[in-house]
Structure 1
Amino acid sequence: MSLAQLAQKGKIKSKAHIKLVCDGKRNLSAKTIPTFSTMLGLKSKEADFFENLVYFTQAHTCEEQLKYRNRLKDLSKTSSAKQIEFEKFDLFSKWYIVALRELVELSDFKEDPKWINSRLKANLTPTEIKKALEILIKLGFLERKNNQLHQTTPKISSGDELRSKAIRHFHYQMLDKAKEALDEDMNHRETSGLTIAMTEEEFKMVKEKIIEFRKSLNESLGTCPTGTGPKNHLYHVALTCFRLTKGGNA
């Protein structure tokens, strides 16, 4: 169906507007969403899903995105594939979900809420712990063998860029943890920084080195561990480089 036919079906005056929306150059509004639903021939439930999907993709905060994610999840309970996509979003929406996956690797791990709260710097409810473990199992990051939880894949990585608001929210939470760690024993943490003027080329070089180091560290600790003793603590390694200035040429 051509853009002209779609415009006629949806009673939209300009077919150019449809193209701009399809190209991601213009957002839909509460007023135009029903128009596009009609144009696409969506039925009631499909139109409801489409509306919430639009709000989900256009959300400005993680809280808004979580709100519409939950609505989409409720509307797509019959689709296992869609459920998995929402679980992937959940994976980074709470810092402790990824942490629980790594906690399983500790030599004295116990699948017990009291033990987990005694070791993890959190105060999680049994329901939160159960849901987090269910997400990790469903996504294939954990499995049960002989009634015990085990990791099934190498380390989790969110990738080189923060494309998801959930992942950004994950880093916000970890930065809060980093601030708390500043008051802890220096033997249990490593915090250092460098403030320096750079050219754009130098910044790109620094960024590449950070990415290379993160991948190398993940590889060394994940698939080719060098330690010989038991794993008795969980750590978060954060690498960041950002501007302290504004304006300029770029």
Structure 2
Amino acid sequence: MFQNFLPVVFGAKQDGFMQTAKETVQSIIMEEFERRVRVNPRYSLRAFSASLGMSSGALSEILRNVRPVSLKTAAKISKSLGFNAAETKHFYRLVESEKSRAFGTIKDPKVDFQDPSADAKQKKLDEDTFHLISDWSHFAILNLLDCEGFVWEANYISKRLGLSQTQAKLAMNLLTRLGLVKFKAGKAYGAEDYLLSPSGIPSAAVREYHKQILDKAKLSLDLQSLDKREMNGVGFAVDPKKLPQIKREISEFLDELVSRYSKGKRHEVYFLETALFQITEGERDENK
């Protein structure tokens, strides 16, 4: 059973952070392509290459590590993908590093490369972790594992969750790569050596996750009958100083609900999204 009460992230037990794979120029480009496919299952490599201002053949060779990336191409890719200054510098550094390994030390004096060890004390979530927590389908698959009759096949998962087969395959590959899904006697099961850590989550990922769940909830209003859903809400005036306690009680309620009902034979996956937010606007007099 995987509880996706964000902001959280799955991490290895050693220190609560994901063990990251070595980042490369190819992995950064591929991660962006996979992100676009998740948004639009029909998105193609040809369309992606066009957005980067290069041919699909050239992009394919770069992704297969057959063609090296020049600094000029790196600048074009960085601009096309909307990298900020820090991200561009990091991307250039990776390009330079890969060229150095292949041809010897080659540096462009116009590019300011910083020593990566300067930020060694800062914990950074890798792209895999970001995508894990920012896409609802990953948590849905992890919970679907507990359902009767589950089959680790893209066709089965896509039909059960309303995904395209491409989306299902990408999600399956990511979950397997991160070690969150393991196999025994040909059967997939959720790894038990992972825990939830509230540290270091990028707020953009958390917001994206909740937006997706709320969008799914809105769709359920029109597509699901009353016997399959429950929508409830209440408005009330409150002293903001009591919000920490309210949040703790909501968290305790969610934990108790899952502990009580997520056991025995299970056949469907449900998401429960709580939304506590302020309706009033404007500044108030703190002295009153």
TM tier, shorter chain? 0.5 to 0.7
Structure 2 residue matching 1:136: 3-state secondary structure: helix
Paired with 1:148 and 1:76, the residues of 2 have a C-alpha distance of 43
CA 1:100–1:110 in 2, change beyond 3 Å: closer, same or farther?
A: same
**CA-to-aligned-CA distance 1:85-134 (integer Å, 9 cap, x gap):** 221111023211111111121111112233222221x2322x32222112
Taking structure 1 as the reference length, the TM-score comes to 0.59
**CA-to-aligned-CA distance 1:5-36 (integer Å, 9 cap, x gap):** xxxxxxxxxxxxxxxxxxxxxxxxxxxxxxxx
Paired with 2:200 and 2:181, the residues of 1 have a C-alpha distance of 25
Paired with 1:138 and 1:245, the residues of 2 have a C-alpha distance of 45
Pairwise CA distance, 1:186: 1.7
Q: Residue 210 in 1 paired to residue 239 in 2?
A: no
CA 1:189–1:154 in 2, change beyond 3 Å: closer, same or farther?
A: farther
Paired with 1:129 and 1:104, the residues of 2 have a C-alpha distance of 14
Number of aligned residue pairs: give it.
Answer: 184
Greater relative contact order (Cα < 8 A, sep 6+): 2
Q: 1:164 aligns with which of 178, 198, 203?
A: 203
Q: 1:189 aligns with which of 216, 229, 242?
A: 229
- 1:236 corresponding residue in structure 2: 271
Paired with 1:93 and 1:124, the residues of 2 have a C-alpha distance of 18
Paired with 2:189 and 2:146, the residues of 1 have a C-alpha distance of 7
CA 1:210–1:156 in 2, change beyond 3 Å: closer, same or farther?
A: farther
Q: In the alignment, residue 114 of structure 1 is paired with which amino acid?
A: N
Contact 1:76 1:83 in 2 (8 A): no
Taking structure 2 as the reference length, the TM-score comes to 0.52
CA 1:151–1:132 in 2, change beyond 3 Å: closer, same or farther?
A: same
- 1:55 corresponding residue in structure 2: 84
Paired with 2:84 and 2:200, the residues of 1 have a C-alpha distance of 23
Contact 1:160 1:211 in 2 (8 A): no
Contact 2:145 2:190 in 1 (8 A): yes
Q: 1:146 aligns with which of 185, 194, 201?
A: 185
**CA-to-aligned-CA distance 1:150-173 (integer Å, 9 cap, x gap):** 011389757499743112101101
- 2:148 corresponding residue in structure 1: 107
Paired with 1:177 and 1:87, the residues of 2 have a C-alpha distance of 23
The Cα RMSD (Å) is 4.1
Pairwise CA distance, 1:212: 2.4
**CA-to-aligned-CA distance 1:14-61 (integer Å, 9 cap, x gap):** xxxxxxxxxxxxxxxxxxxxxxxxxxxxxx7xx98x999982989xxx
Give the gaps of 5 or more residues in structure 2: 1-70, 99-122
Pairwise CA distance, 1:137: 1.9
- 2:219 corresponding residue in structure 1: 180
Output aligned runs, 1:50-129, within 5 Å: 55=84, 85-120=126-161, 122-125=162-165, 127-129=166-168
Q: In the alignment, residue 242 of structure 1 is paired with which amino acid?
A: F
Paired with 1:76 and 1:173, the residues of 2 have a C-alpha distance of 37
Contact 1:162 1:168 in 2 (8 A): no
Give the gaps of 5 or more residues in structure 1: 1-43, 59-67
CA 1:156–1:117 in 2, change beyond 3 Å: closer, same or farther?
A: farther
- 2:3 corresponding residue in structure 1: none
Paired with 2:234 and 2:152, the residues of 1 have a C-alpha distance of 41
Contact 1:92 1:167 in 2 (8 A): yes
- 1:63 corresponding residue in structure 2: none
Pairwise CA distance, 1:202: 2.9
- 1:8 corresponding residue in structure 2: none
Paired with 1:207 and 1:98, the residues of 2 have a C-alpha distance of 22
Paired with 2:272 and 2:235, the residues of 1 have a C-alpha distance of 19
